[in-house]
A and B are shown apart, each in its own frame.
Chain A
Amino acid sequence: DQQVKQNSPSLSVQEGRISILNCDYTNSMFDYFLWYKKYPAEGPTFLISISSIKDKNEDGRFTVFLNKSAKHLSLHIVPSQPGDSAVYFCAARLLYGGATNKLIFGTGTLLAVQP
């Protein structure tokens, strides 16, 4: 059962425009949500995160929005650049009383930013 879902396997955007990557989750026990970026032949690298008590977190060109009632989060990249082309993974942390630290990932969305 996929607890974190990224329903769009790929997305193509023009340079300078906004990229919106979406993620849905099913478990209300998740307390943190993260986005990772992955280039070919490399491991994923952390991009941005948001606590479940917030609805928005911004870092430069990257903004993550969280809608807890809809169990939905999104990553906005503005403006998109060709170097942003990568696979983006949504991840959620499952925390049990501070004793565990388990990240569950989605299947990823391949973003292609066209020059």
Chain B
Amino acid sequence: GQSLEQPSEVTAVEGAIVQINCTYQTSGFYGLSWYQQHDGGAPTFLSYNGLDGLEETGRFSSFLSRSDSYGYLLLQELQMKDSASYFCAVSDYGQNFVFGPGTRLSVLP
């Protein structure tokens, strides 16, 4: 089976940097993805790591260490609109996806 762990809540101020960690236990691993979801909305794709290392997309970066079964999402220059829930998700070599429980980020003025 597969299980993922994320902090339930993170709070930061505008302009700051925040890191959301994700650890996983899987029977098979293909890649780690990150999704953002605003209240009442649908999840939207942020980033994907298929290989170890850092992926950068604008203010967002994501990191993966396969040997540690660990990844993180880094959000820089936080804005109020970044207040949302963030989910990591693991895909295996098949078509199965497992999402983490989500981290609720609150950005304060």
Q: Do A and B bind each other?
A: no
Chain B residues at the A interface, C-beta cutoff of 8 Å: none
